[in-house]
Chains A and B, each alone.
Chain A
């Protein structure tokens, strides 16, 4: 167990729907990162939060949004889902910014049908 908790582990939903993925960072970690992993694109950075504030954005679609709450857990919201959004979504955390490596959760496998 890495200490980063992601729920749910699996999610199957229909096109056009909206889902929320949840992440609890490792105890003491202030920074949360979201990544999308698909077979053809590999691990793609979506967005980073630090202590409740958005710090960096990657290739995140406008249909996707995220936030980090005062208790430091984070949620990734995916709306108007398309078949191509099917992927593994990982959350990672680190104690602070500028840390060389992250601790990853086990991911949420999203299947859009």
Chain B
């Protein structure tokens, strides 16, 4: 079993939809939780990070962490075609980042 599980999708939604991306994890040592966005032929870029359980909002993006359930989510409101990318969750514990498989998201006009 992988330490971090993420549905690879692909996920296709119409412009303006609310997108929900999720990851589950098994290692209780994970303390920091991040979401990276990766456009085709580019490296991942840090989108959001959280430490504690709860919600963190940044513009159209909301990151949610539930440590008791070992479950994290990223919500994208009013999705745009420019949001089309692969979204990777990442978790930090014991000094290294462990990534999920990534979810491929396509937002069509």
Contacts and interface: CB of A to CB of B under 8 A. Distances in A.
B16 to A, nearest CB: 29
A45 B96 contact: yes
A103 interface: yes
Contacts of B32: 100
Given A90-B44, A106-B42, A101 B102 contact: no
A4 interface: yes
Interface residues on A, range: 20 to 34
Given A42-B101, A43-B88, A43-B102, A104 B45 contact: yes
Contacts of B109: none
A56 B96 contact: yes
Interface string B65-102: 00000000000000000000000101010011111111
A100 B43 contact: no
A56 B49 contact: no
A48 B44 CA distance: 17
B18 interface: no
Contacts of B98: 45
B97 A102 contact: yes
A100 B49 contact: yes
Interface in B40-55: 41-46, 49, 51
9 shortest interchain CB distances as A-B pairs: A104-B43, A43-B99, A101-B46, A42-B101, A100-B32, A104-B44, A100-B49, A106-B43, A105-B43
Interface of B: 32, 34, 36, 41-46, 49, 51, 88, 90, 92, 95-102
Given A4-B43, A45-B98, A101-B36, 9 more contacts: A2-B43, A33-B96, A33-B97, A43-B88, A45-B97, A56-B96, A100-B32, A104-B43, A106-B41
Interface of A: 2, 4, 33, 35, 42-43, 45, 48, 55-56, 58, 90, 92, 97-98, 100-107
